[in-house]
Amino acid sequence: MLLYVLDLFGVAVFAASGALAGIASRLDLLGIIVLASITAIGGGTLRDVLLNRHPIFWMHDSGPIWTILAATAATLLWVQVLPVPTDALLIADAIGLAVFAISGAQVAEKAGCRPMVTVLMGTLTGSGGGVLRDVLSAKVPLILRQDIYATAAIAGIAVYLLARAAKVSTAWAFAAGAVTVAGTRLAAIAYDLKLPVFSAVS
Amino acid sequence: MLLYVLDLFGVAVFAASGALAGIASRLDLLGIIVLASITAIGGGTLRDVLLNRHPIFWMHDSGPIWTILAATAATLLWVQVLPVPTDALLIADAIGLAVFAISGAQVAEKAGCRPMVTVLMGTLTGSGGGVLRDVLSAKVPLILRQDIYATAAIAGIAVYLLARAAKVSTAWAFAAGAVTVAGTRLAAIAYDLKLPVFSAVS
Amino acid sequence: MLLYVLDLFGVAVFAASGALAGIASRLDLLGIIVLASITAIGGGTLRDVLLNRHPIFWMHDSGPIWTILAATAATLLWVQVLPVPTDALLIADAIGLAVFAISGAQVAEKAGCRPMVTVLMGTLTGSGGGVLRDVLSAKVPLILRQDIYATAAIAGIAVYLLARAAKVSTAWAFAAGAVTVAGTRLAAIAYDLKLPVFSAVS
């Protein structure tokens, strides 16, 4: 139950980030809703298609779609009167990433995937929606260019899998993994940590 | 049978729109065929993958692929000698959108989807190909930015579902839905209707 | 066995091409790995999803993922000290295209696809990863604009299917198809062959 609420929190945060991207790209109302939806459920949809899990998670549960609509409406109202709370959104986004990455890894684990595929599926669940958002906005996806993002997801999923291998209960393993993701991500923002960039000799 | 012919008409119209986008982007012959194909069958393919309908609709029926090749050839010949009939294409595109949206909704309905998912699947079938066309042309998808397009699909699918709920026969419900889509879309073009665009306070 | 080795060779070559694109786009380390992976296994993944083949090929075999990591590491080390061997990469890429296109066609053939769908699936396997690489780099996909690329794949798959129809053994048909793909592609590079581009009258 707590997990489900956390999951919808992740959906709401990612929907808001998609809606803000849509406003910045001067999309119309429906375009904003579409971009919010794809950002919020795109990663989990790719995961379900790749793992052959049908029906896709938002098809048999209305929760995600209503959450997206509510979050988008709230975002549109907010920006009419108040400035975008950039810092709060970054923190909320880190929590959303943490929840999505570890719950995506759990889904892959239950489907019997090997650890490396489980890491990939969790990372995809956490960051796939943001990649689709940027592709639809005709931008090079931010998470491919930017500071520690998918990296934080990978680190947290590794912690989750190690905890599970050490017979830690699912709930505690989840907590350890999610805290690692969010902590790594927030530390990267606070201290401006980046992965190395490479140049070719000419 | 009439529905099948209408469906191929939709395929032909969307293929022509993809081919024209390919010509505008200076693609070569094969690139034009690829873009025409993705525009024409991309939306239905996404729908079938998400609904786990296999084989995908164009795999067991040759009609769509031959229609795409014929429509692309006709488009390439046409533009050698005559200007692009922009107005005729807009009208044809509205009809194609109408047919695809309602037939996509029917597919989802038969697969047992809830009404909200049915609306999403119909809209995806109608507008997914155009979104893929724009992504492959490295543009922000037109339908996210522009006048009433997916909105027309949503309105028509709602009419279709309401008619079905009121025990109207499938054929008449289809007609009512499709006329609503095409009518809304053409009215939006004629009177330059747009959905609201939002700005953030700075 | 030889085929498996050739397949991993294709994975390595495409991963290197994705890694180079990532370096050119100034992506960070993880972004480079992601782009290398999508270029290397994107086409085969799309093929498996469309044909409903589960688990996806890289989920039950670790070979492709380790190959991608090794090829990406080698590429990153190489560019620190030596210029990019453009000509060698073009030749390697032609071989990778040949292997992927014909092995993709074999997969579709075994799944019972009609010849035209088999051609599409082989072409998708060979060129889909490169298209995804370009979309994620926010470029119009190279193979849609450029010299004979997917065209070479189509020609080779046609040769493969004709050889199979003439009761040639699988191994020889594979060889004939793959040589046709690589030969056509290399001839196109060497003699600067292009497909026609079209202009609309204004």
pLDDT tens by residue, C52-73: 999 998 998 889 999 999 999 9
At A26 the three-state DSSP class reads: coil
Q: Indicate the pLDDT class of residue B180, thresholds 50, 70 and 90.
A: very high
CA distance A31 to A9: 22
Q: Identify the CA nearest to C49 among candidates B4, A134, A56, A116.
A: A56
Q: How far is B40 from chain A (nearest CA, A)?
A: 19
In a domain, A198, yes or no: no
Tokens encoding A83:
């400035």
* Residue A145's pLDDT band (cuts 50, 70, 90): low
Distances (CA, A) of C145 to B81, B121, B139, C184: 23, 31, 15, 17
State how far the alpha carbon of C150 is from the alpha carbons of B34, B93, C89, in Å: 10, 29, 17
Q: Tell me the pLDDT band of C157, cut-offs 50, 70 and 90.
A: very high
Mutate to test the interface with C, among B20, B25, B33, B34 (most CBs of C within 10 A): B34
**Domains of chain C: total:** 1
Question: CA-to-CA distance for A94 and A151, rounded, in angstroms?
Answer: 12
Measured between beta carbons, the chain C residues lying within 8 angstroms of B63 are none
Q: What percent of chain C has pLDDT over 70?
A: 94
Q: Which two tokens stand for residue B51?
A: 């609904």
The minimum CA-CA distance between B9 and chain C, rounded to whole Å, is 21
pLDDT of the residue at B3: 73
User: Using the beta-carbon criterion (under 8 Å), do B84 and C200 form an inter-chain contact?
Assistant: yes
CA separation for the pair C155, C177 (Å, rounded): 8
Asked if residue B97 lies in contact with residue B126, where contact means CB atoms within 8 angstroms, the answer is yes
Q: What are the residues facing B28 on neighbouring strands? A: C197
Which of A132-136, A182-186, B101-105, C98-102 is least confident?
A132-136
Question: Smallest CA–CA separation between C89 and chain A, in Å?
Answer: 15
Residue B65 has pLDDT above 90, yes or no: yes
Terminal alpha carbon distance of chain B: 56
DSSP state of B60: S
More confident: A138 or C161: C161
A9 within domain boundaries: yes
Instruction: Identify whether the C-beta of residue C35 lies closer than 8 Å to the C-beta of residue A198.
Output: no
The verdict on residue A199 lying in a domain is: no
- Within 13 Å and on the Cβ side, how many CA atoms surround A137? 27
Cβ within 8 Å, pair C28-A52: no
Of C139, C146, C201, the CB nearest to B79: C201
Contact A80 B116 (CB under 8 A): no
Q: Is pLDDT above 90 for A184?
A: yes
Contacts of B141 in chain A (CB under 8 A): 31, 136
Provide the token pair at C2: 């030889």
**Would you give the distance in Å from CA A180 to the centre of its chain?**
14
Helix (H, G, I), strand (E, B) or coil at B28: strand
- Return the pLDDT at C175: 93
Kindly report the CA angle at C64 between C61 and C66, in degrees rounded to 5? 100
Residue range A37-41: mean pLDDT, rounded: 92
A touches which chains (3+ CB pairs under 8 A)? B, C
Round the CA-based radius of gyration of chain C to a whole number and report it: 17
Residue B200 in any domain: the answer is no
**C173 Cβ contact partners less than 8 Å away, ≥ 6 residues apart:** C160, C163, C164
In-domain check, residue A196? no
Q: Work out the minimum CA distance from C16 to partner chain A, whole angstroms.
A: 13
Backbone dihedral region for residue A106 (phi beyond 0: left; psi -120 to 50: alpha; all else: beta): alpha
Half-sphere CA count of C153, side-chain side, radius 13 A? 28
Q: Give the closest residue to C199 by CA, choosing from B80, B14, B77.
A: B80
Q: Is the pLDDT of residue C95 over 80?
A: yes
C-beta atoms of A201 and C55 within 8 A: no
Domain limits at A58? 2-191
Which of C182, C201, C153 is closest to C9 using CA atoms? C182
For the segment A85-112, what is each residue's pLDDT rounded down to a tens digit?
Answer: 778 778 888 888 999 999 999 999 999 9
Residues of B in contact with A25 (CB under 8 A): 140, 144-145
Query: What percent of chain A clears pLDDT 70, i.e. is strictly above it?
Result: 94
The answer to whether residues B27 and B97 touch, using CB atoms and an 8 Å cutoff, is no
Question: Could you tell me if residue B9 is inside a domain?
Answer: yes
Give the DSSP letter of residue C146.
Answer: S
Assess if residue B40 is contained within a domain: yes
Name every residue in C having a CB less than 8 A away from some CB of B. Answer: 49-52, 113-114, 116-117, 120, 131, 135, 138-141, 143-147, 150-151, 154, 194-202
pLDDT tier at A41 (50, 70, 90 boundaries)?
Answer: very high
Enter the ipTM: 0.84
* Mean pLDDT score of chain A: 87
Q: Strands, DSSP E only, in B27-168?
A: none
Q: Which chains touch C (3 or more CB pairs under 8 A)?
A: A, B
pLDDT at B182: 93
Greater confidence, C4 or C50? C50
Q: Which of A21-25, B86-90, B113-117, B131-135 is predicted most confidently?
A: B113-117
φ, ψ (nearest 5 deg) of residue C28: -85, 180
Residues 6 or more apart whose CB falls under 8 angstroms from that of C77 comprise none
pLDDT of A77 > 80? The answer is yes
Distance from CA of B92 to the nearest CA of C (A): 19
Q: Which residues of C touch B44 (CB under 8 A)?
A: none
φ, ψ (nearest 5 deg) of residue A21:
-65, -40
Confidence band of C200 (pLDDT split at 50, 70, 90): low
Contact A35 B143 (CB under 8 A): no
End-to-end C-alpha distance for chain C, whole angstroms = 56
Q: Which pLDDT score, from 0 to 100, does residue B143 have?
A: 66
Inform me whether the pLDDT recorded for A163 exceeds 70. yes
Q: Which chains touch B (3 or more CB pairs under 8 A)?
A: A, C
- In the three-class reduction of DSSP (H, G, I as helix; E, B as strand; rest coil), residue B161 is classed as helix
- Tokens 């032909």 locate to B12
Nearest by CB: A197 against C20, C26, C59: C26
Mean pLDDT of chain B: 87
Q: How far apart are CA C173 and CA C18, in angstroms?
A: 30
Structure tokens that stand for C109 in this block: 């053939």
Model pLDDT, residue A130: 84
The predicted pLDDT at position C176 comes to 95
pLDDT of residue C91: 85
Counting one residue from B and one from C, how many pairs have CB atoms under 8 Å apart?
82
Q: Would you state the pLDDT for residue A200?
A: 66
DSSP B38-75: HHHHHHHHHHHHHHT-SS-TTTS-SHHHHHHHHHHHHH
Annotate B31-61 with b (16+ C-beta within 10 A) or e (fewer): bbbbbbbbbbbbbbbbbbbbbbbebbbbbee
Q: What percent of chain C has pLDDT over 90?
A: 48
What is the model's pLDDT at position B156?
A: 95
Sole residue written with tokens 């993944």: C45
pLDDT at C83: 83
Chain B residues touching residue A135 (CB < 8 angstroms): 135
Taking an 8 Å cut-off on Cβ atoms, the answer to whether A35 and B144 are in contact is: yes
- 3-state per-residue secondary structure call for A35-96: HHHHHHHHHHHHHHHHCCCCCCCCCCCCHHHHHHHHHHHHHHHHHHHCCCCHHHHHHHHHHH
Residue C197 lies in a domain: no
